[in-house]
A = this chain, B = another copy of it.
Amino acid sequence: MFKQQRVVIENMTPQLHCGAFFIKRVVGESVEVKTDVLGDGHDVIQAELQFKHEKDKNFSAQRMSPLVNDAYTASFTVEKQGYYFYRISAWVDHALNWQHGIEAKIKDGQHVKSELLDGVQYLNYIVKKVKGTEKSYVEGLISDFGNEKTYDSAIKEAVSEKLHHLFLKYPQRILSNFSEELSVYVDRKKASFSTWYEFFPRSSSPEPNKHGTFKDCERLLERIMDMGFDTIYFPPIHPIGEVNRKGRNNVVQAKEGDSGVPWAIGSHLGGHKSIHPELGTEEDFGRLVKKANKLGMEIALDLAFQAAPDHPYISTNPEWFRKRPDGTMQYAENPPKKYQDIVNFYFESPAYKELWKELLDVTLHWIGFGVKIFRVDNPHTKPYYFWNWLITEVKKKHPDVLFLAEAFSRPRVMQQLAKQGFSQSYTYFTWRVHKHEIIDYMVELTQSEMREYYRPNFWPNTPDINPYHLQGSNDAMHIIRYALAATLSGNIGIYGPVFEYMVTEALPGKEEYLDCEKYEVRNWDWSKENKLTHVITKLNQARKDHPALQQTNNIRFCHIENDRLMAFYKWNDSRDDQVLVIISLDPYYSQQGMVQLPLAEMGIHQGHEMTMHDLVTDSGYLWYDEWNYVELHPALPFHLFQINL
């Protein structure tokens, strides 16, 4: 193939799997693009980053700066939600090359009459593009370059900054080459900064042994808002299957009166588009959503795409389920385990398109109530391409809608869901306890390719996971886990009352809660507040006030000479907000250590005065040195310092 271009463009980043997936950003973030650009020979090369929003007609452009080893870089900021496209264009810049050459020859003392004449062709190109003073300047040069009498001023102008800028401004892109076009999807800010509080609406009643309602939930909104949460997540709110219903503590047979598992969706009372009658009506739910929104919060719902054996779909759409040759229903199983209260959708069904459309319709149904955030249950047990389709379809009309992937699975599986479009993902943070584990994991999340597409959401606990380190633990441990989550990650969440009230009893030998709310209605004294409530509130407030804490990727761990102390520095892109976090991982004893500040990264030298303002205690310290002594006690096992320089 005859391809006359002289410039090669390759190794463009960020790029996921040859452009098979978009990278992700939220409004206001920047995309820093790097690429290798090579020309043959010694000619001057120019590279340009071109980008546009999906609704823009034309690309905007940004000239790229050279780095080492034939690499170039430039960045652009995404201002609007939706897709942006970006690509590179590069060319041999003959005008700049000419200027570079004539400059070297003039310095070498050569006579450049012929070179000046040669330069006229580049001026002739520019003169058609310019107006006013620029035009008269260029016209003057054209005349001078061909005139022996003005040789001295001609060579002065030939190498001038002024001419250089004109060449940069009006490039003649001879044989320019283009990279592939890549895309970034831009979400609203909440995709990367959110603070979740999970509770079971059926446990919201102030009266013991009574099934909670949406109206009870309404009364809890202000309390949760006051603590600084912005997202309230409800497990499924639909009718619960009655066939093969499970009992308390996950026993196989429910007893009379057991309320069942909200994830076993569907009964004669309705399916995925219905509300469990004991919770209230559609009107109640609509009012709750509106009231939460008014208070600056959102209600997140659960998308659990599976059915109880008595779900209406099973009779209305039997083609969406798999029957065995003997006619029995194929329940969910992971042999030898059987989950007889659950029937999975049969995604290999010939009627899969209708199934997909119905599941989309379920999602749109709740969007109709104003719900814009979904926590998706076990997405990794449904096909990856289905999620890609569903999320894409929803976002076409509802770009505000966000999806959190609840997959506690293998690394590649969790990554794949994020690539296919999930806005946020659960993480292994729940089990990362030791300093080196936490640092390794954060480095993976923030310095590998994952930073481009995987938005972590850090949860110390969930209704499914009562991790060993929380079982029987004290308030210091709870503070440590919340402080870690709140400062390490832009997105965080807790399974609320159980965490806040430090209910840590487990099924023996398992990371599961005793008397777990998944299997029964609980009652909480929501009027209670404790030290944890206070610390959570302070941390959430700090997160609201500090852009450095509203993102995940800008983090550097600091040396601190104690394996039970962790320290890290975070900042926002403009670096007008900088924080230093120091956390003790020891819930029982005081820990001391010397922390090393990354002065070079902070842009200061040893001796510079730093006011370290603790955002939880409001106390302050004056530091001047690279190494600083810190001591933390389990009573308040962390510092969250705002750094004032």
Contact = CB atoms under 8 A, between A and B. Distances in A.
Contact of A3 (B108, B118, B389, B411): B389
A8 interface: yes
A69 B4 contact: no
Interface string A374-417: 00000011111100110000000000000000000011110010
A544 B388 CA distance: 56
A123 B230 CA distance: 55
A239 to B, nearest CB: 25
Interface string A10-33: 110000011110000000000000
A441 to B, nearest CB: 15
Interface string A278-298: 000000000000000000000
Nearest to A174: B348
Nearest to A5: B385
B38 A389 contact: no
Interface stretch (A265-273, A333-341, A561-569, A571-579): A333-341
A588 B99 CA distance: 51
Contact of A114 (B17, B117, B121, B324): B324
Nearest to A382: B40
B4 A110 contact: no
Contacts of A365: none
Q: Which of A110, A326, A382 has the most CB of B within 10 A?
A: A326
A42 interface: yes
Contacts of A600: none
The copy count of this chain in the complex is: 2
Contacts of A410: 69-70
Contacts of A114: 324-326, 328
Given A118-B324, A416-B8, A385 B3 contact: yes
A122 to B, nearest CB: 11
A114 B323 CA distance: 11
A534 interface: no
A4 B101 contact: no
A389 B416 CA distance: 38
A247 to B, nearest CB: 22
Interface in A293-349: 324-326, 328, 333-336, 347-348
Nearest to A420: B8
Contacts of A381: 40-42
A4 B383 CA distance: 8
A10 B175 CA distance: 34
A113 B38 CA distance: 67
Contacts of A383: 4-6, 40
Given A8-B416, A175-B348, A117 B326 contact: yes
A1 interface: yes
A104 interface: yes
Contacts of A326: 113-114, 117-118
A347 B39 CA distance: 13
A104 B69 contact: no
B107 A6 contact: no
Interface string A349-389: 00011001000000000000000000000001111110011
A334 B20 CA distance: 42
Nearest to A107: B336
Contacts of A388: 3
Nearest to A387: B40
A537 B420 CA distance: 60
B347 A4 contact: yes
Given A5-B385, A18-B18, A336-B104, A117 B324 contact: yes
Contact of A110 (B107, B175, B336): B336
Contact of A380 (B41, B110, B113, B347): B41
Q: Which of A36, A40, A324, A336 has the most CB of B within 10 A?
A: A40
Nearest to A328: B114
A590 B608 CA distance: 55
Nearest to A115: B324
A105 B336 contact: yes
Interface in A154-168: none
A277 B40 CA distance: 33
Contacts of A175: 348
Interchain residue pairs A-B with the least CB separation, the first 3:
A108-B336, A18-B18, A104-B335
29 contacts: A2-B352, A3-B385, A4-B348, A4-B352, A4-B385, A5-B383, A5-B385, A6-B348, A8-B384, A10-B416, A36-B412, A38-B412, A38-B413, A40-B347, A40-B383, A42-B381, A70-B410, A70-B413, A100-B335, A105-B335, A108-B335, A108-B336, A114-B326, A114-B328, A117-B326, A118-B324, A118-B325, A120-B325, A121-B325
Given A38-B384, A114-B326, 8 more contacts: A2-B352, A4-B352, A6-B384, A18-B19, A40-B381, A107-B336, A114-B328, A120-B325
